Amino acid sequence: MHLSHLLAVTLLTTSTHAANWPQFRGTDAANTGTGQPPVHFSPKTNLLWSTELPLGHSAPVIWGERIFLTGVESGKLVTLGLDRVTGKVLWTAPAPAEKLEATHRISNPAAPTTCTDGERVIAYFGSYGVLAYDFAGKELWRHPLPVPVVEFGAGSSPVIVGDHVIQLCDSDMNSFIVALDKRTGKEMWKAARPSHRRGFATPFVWRHDGIEELIVNGSLKVSSYDPKDGTLRWTCRGMARVANASPTAGDGLLFIASWNLGGDPGDKLALPPHAEFLAQYDKNKDGLLTKDEFPNGPFKDRFSQIDLNKDGIVTKAEYEGMADQFADAENCLMAIKPGGRGDITATHIAWKQTRGLPYVSSPVYYQGRVHTVRSGGMASAFDAKTGEPSYRDERLGALGDYYASLAAADGHIYAVSQKGTVTVYGGSSAPEVLAKNEIGETVMSTPAIVDGRIYLRTDKRLMCFGK
């Protein structure tokens, strides 16, 4: 046995794990790790073990001696249970999906992350629905759900709130959020979201003042639900057309980042009036529009978004609906005060920033600041209470896109690029880069940092790094 592997086994088997990582972005979805993880690591440095995995973008979930992931193996969707000490795959459970959903060219049908309460592990696949397993891989229940009407596939992960499994299913038609009994899979409540279109953010449980709110970053607005019965508490307008980043909280405030093309004041997309567009481009004069009838450019590129039911034809209602989406979309990072009811847009926004916004990577609240990273390795940090930037759009020196959520631990921020560079940095007035760790493989998944160890999934394997 390799010395580093032997040390990992010895240390892990003789310790009692004080911390778990029970869902996407860990405990309370804060993405804040425990212990003292290494600053410098690579496939040749501080690697405790590495396990080959089927393709998937779901992040590792950890409880006790187990790690849970999902993947696509030989055309089948699977949930996997791994040994935390050695990384060995202990079991693989296939999902009963008859057909795999379509996904974005850089994504796959195993994008949502599992969650666990220590007794059961919950997996969601857009191609099938929600499944529950025990820690030995035995199926406990299954609950089929409609396949999302979106060509990019599902992205929102399940969360457990009390006795409920919460699953968000936003898509271009028939969006909803549903609560299932975590013991039986029975539907407990379901709330329609008719004004929302495609979205890939994961619901966030905001705990404050003795209550719990289920916060959902959606298209054009963020919403709060009562997790007990699905009652809508409040909404706040000012979001982008497509929600990717998941919310977080700190210092008594809620933080939501939302960015998409066409939402900046100087970059707004605007569809011409329907009659004017028809007169110019409706070649066969049937009052309907096909993709061939759209001129080359940003609107033709988004034909599948305008065509809500994906029948290859854009009606007047679909056209005007998307025109409204373009008109109302806004890009921002905002902080929301607690205590709102109804439309709180004018009353409960504590502060707002319109620069330094992430596209997919969720922000992290850490040590009194909200941190973000966007494509190109541009890092920003804002005072959590005031929104004042400590620094904004500062280069980390690691180019590429950033899909993994930012993580924090031991006074440092961990930013993971798609190219596989993990930049570790700190600093108050500017990001002070401590290390740029080259993993050498594509990374889309958010890392888990538990008990001083970093669990990082690439497109080929799961790696565990530790001192």
- Check whether 5 has a pLDDT greater than 90: no
The 10s digit of each residue's pLDDT in 285-325 is 999 999 999 999 999 999 999 999 999 999 999 999 999 99
What phi, psi does 372 have (nearest 5°)?
Answer: -135, 160
The pLDDT score that the predictor gives to residue 262 is 87
Q: How do residues 237-268 score in pLDDT, each as one tens digit?
A: 999 999 999 999 999 999 999 999 889 988 88
* DSSP three-state, residue 433: strand
Spatial distance between the Cα atoms of 125 and 133, rounded to a whole number of angstroms: 14
How is residue 49 written in tokens? 């073990």
What are the angstrom distances between the C-alpha of 3 and each of 7, 9, 162, 189, 381?
Answer: 6, 10, 42, 52, 40
CA distance 327 to 82: 47
Query: What is the per-residue pLDDT for 265?
Result: 86
In 3D space, the residue among 76, 40, 35, 38 whose CA is nearest the CA of residue 55 turns out to be: 76
**Residue 363, token pair as written in the block:** 């922000």
CA dihedral 41, 44, 45, 51 (to 10 degrees): 70
Each residue's pLDDT tens digit, 267-282: 888 999 999 999 999 9
pLDDT band at 4 (very low <50, low <70, confident <90, very high): very low
Question: What's the CA gap between 300 and 155, in Å, rounded?
Answer: 24
Residue 157 has pLDDT above 60, yes or no: yes
Residue 266's pLDDT is what? Answer: 85
> Across the beta sheet with 453-457, what order do the strands follow?
47-52, 461-465, 453-457, 448-450
CA dihedral sign of residues 343, 349, 354, 358: negative
Q: Tokens for 323, please give them.
A: 């025109």
* The one-letter amino acid at 392: R
Cα separation, 378 vs 398, in Å, equals 9
Q: Do domains 3-265+329-465 and 269-327 have the same CATH topology?
A: no
Contact 461, 50 (CB under 8 A): yes
The predicted structure's pLDDT at residue 8: 47
Cα torsion 214, 217, 220, 223 to 10°: value is 10
305 three-state secondary structure = helix
DSSP string, 233-253: EEEEE---SSB-SPPEEETTE
- What integer is the mean pLDDT of 156-184? 98
Cβ atoms within 10 A of the Cβ of 264, count? 17
The fold for domain 3-265+329-465 equals: Methylamine Dehydrogenase; Chain H (2.130.10)
Residue 194 CB neighbour total at 10 angstroms: 9
> What's residue 13's pLDDT?
42
Q: Is the pLDDT of residue 374 over 80?
A: yes
With a pLDDT cut of 70, the percent of the chain lying above it is 96
For the residues of 109-144, what is the DSSP string, one character each? S--S--EE-SSEEEEEETTTEEEEEETTS-EEEEEE
Starting at the edge strand found earlier in the chain, the sheet holding 253-258 runs 248-250, 253-258, 332-336, 349-353
CA angle centred on 67, ends 63 and 73, rounded to 5°: 150
Assign 36 a pLDDT band (cuts: 50, 70, 90). very high
Distance CA 317, CA 309 (A): 12
Domain ranges of the chain: 3-265+329-465, 269-327
220: three-class secondary structure by DSSP:
coil
Q: Model confidence over 350-368: pLDDT tens digits? A: 999 999 999 999 999 999 9
More confident residue, 4 or 269: 269
pLDDT tens-digit profile of 184-209?
A: 999 999 999 999 999 999 999 999 99
- The residue that leads in pLDDT, 17 or 237, is 237
Q: Is the pLDDT of residue 14 over 70?
A: no
Phi-psi region of 102 (alpha: psi -120 to 50; beta: other; left: phi over 0): beta
Residue partners of 190: CB distance under 8 A and separation at least 6: 176, 177, 178, 179, 230
Question: 3-class SS at 400?
Answer: coil
Alpha-carbon Rg for the chain in angstroms:
22
Q: How many angstroms separate the CA atoms of 333 and 353, rounded?
A: 5
**Entry pTM:** 0.94
Q: Which of 441, 372, 451, 356 is nearest to 405 (CA)?
A: 372
∠ CA(97), CA(103), CA(108), 5° rounding?
70
Domain 269-327 coded CATH 1.10.238.10: yes
Q: Please give the backbone phi and psi of residue 360, each rounded to the nearest 5 degrees, phi first.
A: -115, -40
In DSSP terms, 208 is beta-bridged to 211
What is the bridge-based pairing of β-strands 232-237 and 248-250?
unpaired
Instruction: Say what the pLDDT of residue 213 is.
Output: 98
Q: Which of 397, 399, 410 is nearest to 454 (CA)?
A: 410
Q: What is the pLDDT of residue 9?
A: 47
Helix (H/G/I), strand (E/B), else coil: 295: coil
What is residue 18's predicted lDDT score, i.e. its pLDDT?
61
* Burial of 216 from C-beta contacts in 10 A (0-12 / 13-18 / 19+): buried
